[in-house]
Amino acid sequence: MDLVALPAFADNYIWMLHDGAQAVVVDPGDAAPVLAALDRLQLRLAAILVTHHHPDHVGGLAALRERLEGPVHGPAREVIAPPFEPRRGGERIEVLGHRFEVLDVPGHTAGHIAYVQCDAEQAPLLFCGDTLFCAGCGRLFEGTPAQMLASLDRLAALPPDTRICSAHEYTMSNLRFAAAVEPANEAIAAHAGRCRALREAGQPTLPSTIALEHRINPFLRCREPAVVAAALAQGADGADPVAVLAALREWKNRFQ
């Protein structure tokens, strides 16, 4: 299956997976780029996956329904426009003949879910919405630092070659923050160089991989001594990973 990142709004990606005849899209905040891709590639829309209720992830649903030939799967614990198939962690769904596992990943929103294609003949695919970004994580709008830590730990335990399909192109600003947290981490500087070239060429920096995020993402590195020390210097309540994540997240919110 082919994976395509459809840019939307200022920095969203609507991920499309297709087999040359049928497509599934994830978090269509806007219908226009999806309809254009369906027409350009001559694909039918077989399913839609939604990770959370924010408008930049569901805004295109209404306009896509007349082209949609299958279900909308969405978070059971959030309100999105019906009809949709309510999904929760632990469920397995079949999309385009492939199995996807649903994971509960609360934190950015209270009922945020993610989808992992778990029977891939290629490297696994993770559609994680606004939970995990390259070198960053989502803001805590509805959840707690403890919930976000548990969700990120969950994703960090996926196979190292898992391809991470996040919903935003935040990589360069996230890497600037990651370098402020860990100035001596050479993997962060090296990846910033690669991503700068990709952005200059108009290319997405995603998907990332779980293996890479373990090396560069401060929010997956809350137990690393250098990250703990940086968080304590920013006023973290303690050295435990929840306090470290909370301090990193607040630091990132005010980081320019």
**Nearer Cβ to Zn ion, position 87 or 108?**
108
Decide if 191 is catalytic.
Answer: no
CB of 139 to Zn ion, least distance (A): 8
Give the one residue of 18, 53, 54, 249 binding Zn ion; rule: CB under 5 A: 54
Amino acid, single-letter form, for residue 242: V
CB of 113 to Fe ion, least distance (A): 14
Is residue 27 close enough to count as binding Zn ion by CB under 5 A?
no
DSSP bridge pairs for 4: 16
**Nearer Cβ to Fe ion, position 204 or 241?**
204
Decide if 73 is catalytic.
Answer: no
Cβ neighbourhood burial of 74 (10 Å; 0-12, 13-18, 19+) = buried
Give the one residue of 104, 130, 182, 213 binding Zn ion; rule: CB under 5 A: 130
Decide if 52 is catalytic.
Answer: yes
Decide if 214 is catalytic.
Answer: no
Decide if 18 is catalytic.
Answer: no
Residues that bind Fe ion (CB under 5 A): 56, 130
Please identify every residue annotated as catalytic.
Answer: 52, 54, 56-57, 108, 130, 168
Residues that bind Zn ion (CB under 5 A): 54, 130
